Amino acid sequence: MENCKEASTPIATGCYLDANEIGVDVDQTKFKQLIGSLLYLTTSRPDIMFGMCLCAIFQAKPKESHYVATKRILKYLKGTIEVGLWYPSEVTLNLVGYSDSDFAGCKVDKKSTSGTCHLLGSILISWHNKKQACVALSTAEAEYIAAGSCCAQTIWLKYQLSDFGLNLSKIPLFCDNTSAINLTKNPVQHSRTKHIEIRHHFIRDHIMNGDCEIQFVDSENQLADLFTKPLNKERFNFLKNELGIIDFKNVN
């Protein structure tokens, strides 16, 4: 791996990973070790979060195709050794959350993926990628569930910041799906949403209380995109820059 070519992104844009029943088996222990190492790295490298989570799903029965995808992350890392999070000292302390989802992102069981991130001023302090626990019937539902988990994290951060003497309310939570936004504001039983589990309606309560405030953001400026889908090089680098994931070779 040391002499491999460098990749510009951790996951190829057209990357399609499924269970791949007929594929060639690879050593499970080796694969799990690789995933474990990458998982450890996500604490300082949010840019590989999505790719790592995507590959981690296949730990039970890893095939050659999964191994190749995982190795691409290593190829990406090789070219970005000096990338890290940039925490400048001069920032205003306001908290914002972004939530995004990838509808039916998992090719194995068609469950959607939630991706959220939180910024304090302009610095990235919390990020998350998780396959949702239930199958969503629509993109709006998937977005709504993602907004719910984003909200939960926001509430925790709010409490945490209050210990530091920083009391925030109406924390903006950015979502790029208007139907999901409307769902949070309108507590009606709609024929297409009445099956949504009660736990996902948690967000409504907190919006009514004024803990957070859901706002629309266009897909272009949806920063949580980085944690939900494979992106092309330009988009990937744009988001990395916006989130303060910076190559220290370029910092004096």
Partner 1 sequence: MKGLRLHQMDVKSAFLNGLIDEEVYVSEPPGFEDHNNPDYVFKLKKALYGLKQASRQWYERLSNFLLSQGYERGKTDRTLFIKNSCNEIILVQVYVDDIIFGSTNESLCQQFVATIQREFEMSMMGGSISS
Q: Which stretch binds partner 1 (CB under 8 A): 39-47, 86-94, 130-138, 212-220?
A: 86-94
Contact string 151-170 vs partner 1 (x = CB under 8 A): -----x--xx-xxxx-----
List helix spans (H) across the chain: 28-41, 49-56, 64-79, 139-163, 178-185, 202-209, 233-242
Whose CA is closest to 31, among 5, 69, 2? 69
- Give the strand pairing for 171-175 and 95-102: parallel
Distance, in Å, from the CA atom of 202 to the CA atom of 125, rounded to the nearest integer, reads 23
Interface with partner 1 (CB under 8 A), residue total 12
126 vs 115: CA distance, rounded Å: 11
The Cα–Cα gap between 67 and 59 comes to: 10
We find the least distance from the C-beta atom of residue 169 to partner 1, in angstroms, to be: 16
Judged by CB, which is closer to partner 1: 40, or 87?
87
Q: Provide the mask over 110-139, with x wherever binding to partner 1 is found by CB under 8 A and - wherever it is not.
A: ------------------------------
| Nearest-approach distance from CB 119 to partner 1, in angstroms | 14
By CB under 8 A, name the one of 43, 89, 167, 252 that touches partner 1: 89
What is the Rg, in whole angstroms, of the alpha carbon atoms belonging to the chain?
Answer: 19
Furthest-apart CA atoms within the chain: distance in Å: 58
Can residue 93 be called a binding residue for partner 1 (CB under 8 A)? yes
Judged by beta carbon, residue 4 or residue 93, the one nearer partner 1 is: 93
Q: How far is the CB of 181 from partner 1 (least distance, A)?
A: 28
Binding partner 1 (rule: CB under 8 A), the pick from 33, 36, 44, 91 is 91
Q: Which is nearer to partner 1, 12 or 152 (CB)?
A: 152
- CA 126 to chain CA centroid, nearest Å: 10
In the complex, the residues that contact partner 1 under the rule CB under 8 A are: 87, 89-91, 93, 156, 159-160, 162-165
